[in-house]
A and B are shown apart, each in its own frame.
Chain A
Amino acid sequence: MQTTTANKSVFDVKDLNLWYGSFHALINLNFSMYKNEVTAIIGPSGCGKSTFVKTLNLMVNMIPNVHMSGEINYNDKNILNKKIDLVELRKQIGMIFQKGNPFPQSIYDNVAYGPRIHGIKKKKQLDEIVEESLKDVALWDEVKDRLQSAALGLSGGQQQRLCIARALATKPEVVLMDEPTSALDPISTLKIEELITKLKEKYTIVIVTHNMQQAARISDKTAFFLNGEVVEFSDTNQLFSNPSDKRTEDYITGRFG
C-alpha cells in the first residue's frame, strides 16, 4: 500500500472499528486522506463504504445502536473523542448525499441557510456568499435571474449542484460525497465530475462511488472496501492498472460486485 503525496493529511484513520449492534460493519481501518486531493471509496454494495464516509462527520451517530473504537484524526484531533463540537466539525466538513435534497425554499435561501444560522446577517455579505458558492458549482449563470424561485423546481442535476453550493457556503475544508451522481443522468454526472476536479483546488474531497470508471477519472487515491475491510489503498492509477491484491483485481475487472 504505497502512496505518493506531497500534501499533508487531513484525516488519519487508525484502527477504526464500527458495530451496528452486534454486526461488525467496519473492521480495523487504517488509511489517510490528503489535503486538496480526491479520495475515492469503491466496493460492492454493503461493504461499508457509506458507513465509513458517515463516520468522518459523525452523521453515523444518528443511527441507533452504533458504537466505534479506534481513532479518526481530523487535522490531528481525534473526532471520536466525546468532547468534540459537532456543530464546528460539520461546518468544516460538508456532506453531499445520494439524492439532491434541497430544502423546500427558494434557491437563495437554500444556499444562505448555513451561513445565516451560523451568524451572518448582513444582506450584502450573504449575497456575496450565495453568488460565490453558486459560481463555484457553475450554477450561477443558470439561476441568477430566479434566485427567489423554488429550489425544487430545478432539474435533478441542478438540485445536486445546488446542494454542493449549500455545503460550500459554510466554507468547509472537506467535502464528503456519498454516491453523488447515482441518481443522475450521464450529462449531469459529467458536470458534477468536472466540478469535483475543479473543487479539489480549494477543498479536500472524499467520494463514495459505485462507478469504477468515475473513481478512475476523478480521484487521486482510491480505497477498495470489501466486507468492512480496506483491501487496498493506493494511488488511483496504480490501483486500477496494477492492483496488488487478487480481490481488487477481480473486482475492478468485473468478476464480482
Chain B
Amino acid sequence: MNSRVADRIATGVLIGLATIIVVLLVGLFSYILAKGIPNISWSFLTSPSSTVQAGGGIRDQLFNSFYILFITMLITVPLGVLGGIYMAEYAQPGKITHFIRSCIEMLASLPSIVVGMFGLLIFVNTIGWGYTIIGGALALTIFNIPVMVRVSEDAVRSVPSEQKEASLALGITHWHTIKTVLIPAAFPGILTGAILASGRVFGEAAALLFTAGLSTPKLNYMNWNPFSETSPLNIFRPAETLSVHIWEINTQGIIPDVEEVANGASAVLVLSVLLFNLLARWLGSTIHKKITASK
C-alpha cells in the first residue's frame, strides 16, 4: 500500500470517527431536550418536589445544584490555582515534586463513589456534620482539585518566558510577577479549567449521595440568614442536587409521574450546564479583554 492510499484511508477514518462523535452528541442532546422540554413549565421550576403526589417541581434541587457548585468553586479555584502556581513556579524538579505529581494524578482517577464514601466517613460521621452542603462541596473539591491544579499549572507554564523575564528585569519580585504578569496571561486557560470542573460538579451524583444527602429541608427563600435552619443559604443543611434527584426518583421514587419529572429535570440540568458555560465564557472573555486591552 503506498503512502497516498494510507493517507486517504487515515483521513477517511478520522472524519468517520469525528462524525460519529458529533452525531452521538447531537442525538443525545436532542433526545434529552425533546423528551424533557414539554415537561418544563414555570411551576415545575418554582415548586418544591413532592414525595407521593404527581405534579412536584424541582425548585430546591435546582437551587441546591447551583449553590453547591458555587461553594465548591469558592474552595476549589483558589486552592487549585495556588497549587498550579506552586507546581509551575516554585517546585524544584526532583523526587518530591514527582511524588506530588503522582499523588495529584492518583487523586484525579479516584472513582467518585469512593470520594463519596470518604466524605461520609470524614465529614458526615467523624466530624459529625451529618449530611450537609459543605460536606458535599468538600467531597467535590477533593476530586476537582487535581484537574484545577493541572490546568492552572499548564496555563502558567505556557506564558512566554520572555514576559516573566521582562518583569523580573524591571526589579519586580517573583510573587508580584506571578500576580501581575503570569496569572493575567494564564487567565483564559485557568477559566477553561474552572468551567470543566464546574461541569463535573453539576453532573456529579455518586459523591453527593453520602455527603450532601437525598433530602432538602423545607426552605424559605425569603430567609437570607445563612445560620437559620430554613434558609437556603445555610451550608450546614442537607441538600439534594438535581443529579441526585434524578437518580433518586428513578430508583426509589413513588410519585406517579416519575418519568415526566426525571425527563424534565434532565433537560433542565443539560440546559443549566450549557447556559452556565456560555455565561462563564462570556464573563471570562470580557475580563480578559479588560486586562489585556484587546478589542
Contact = CB atoms under 8 A, between A and B. Distances in A.
A101 B292 contact: no
A208 to B, nearest CB: 14
Interface stretch (A10-18, A26-34, A82-90, A221-229): A82-90
A210 interface: no
Interface in B156-171: 160, 162-163, 165-171
A57 B169 contact: yes
Interface string A87-130: 11111101101010111111101000110011000000000000
Given A62-B165, A150-B292, A86 B171 contact: yes
A163 interface: yes
Interface in A47-101: 57, 59, 62, 86-92, 94-95, 97, 99, 101
Contacts of A89: 171
A182 interface: no
A104 B185 contact: yes
**Chain B interface SS verdict (over half):** helix
Given A59-B165, A97-B166, A104-B184, A150 B172 contact: no
A89 B185 CA distance: 26
A147 B172 CA distance: 23
Interface size band for B: 20 to 34
A114 B172 contact: yes
Contacts of A104: 163, 184-185, 291-292, 294
Interface stretch (B122-130, B141-149, B173-181): B173-181
A166 interface: yes
Contacts of B169: 57, 59, 90, 94-95, 97, 167
A95 B166 CA distance: 8
**Chain A interface SS verdict (over half):** helix
B163 A114 contact: no
A101 B165 contact: yes
B1 interface: no
Contact of A97 (B165, B171, B184): B165
Contacts of A216: none
B163 A101 contact: yes
B293 A87 contact: no
Nearest to A102: B166
A152 interface: yes
A90 B171 contact: yes
Given A97-B162, A97-B166, A105 B293 contact: yes
B171 A170 contact: yes
B161 to A, nearest CB: 9
Nearest to B164: A62
A237 interface: no
Nearest to A106: B293
A179 to B, nearest CB: 13
Given A101-B165, A104-B184, A87 B171 contact: yes
Given A92-B171, A114-B171, 14 more contacts: A57-B169, A94-B169, A94-B170, A97-B166, A97-B169, A101-B166, A103-B181, A103-B185, A104-B292, A107-B293, A114-B172, A150-B292, A150-B294, A170-B171
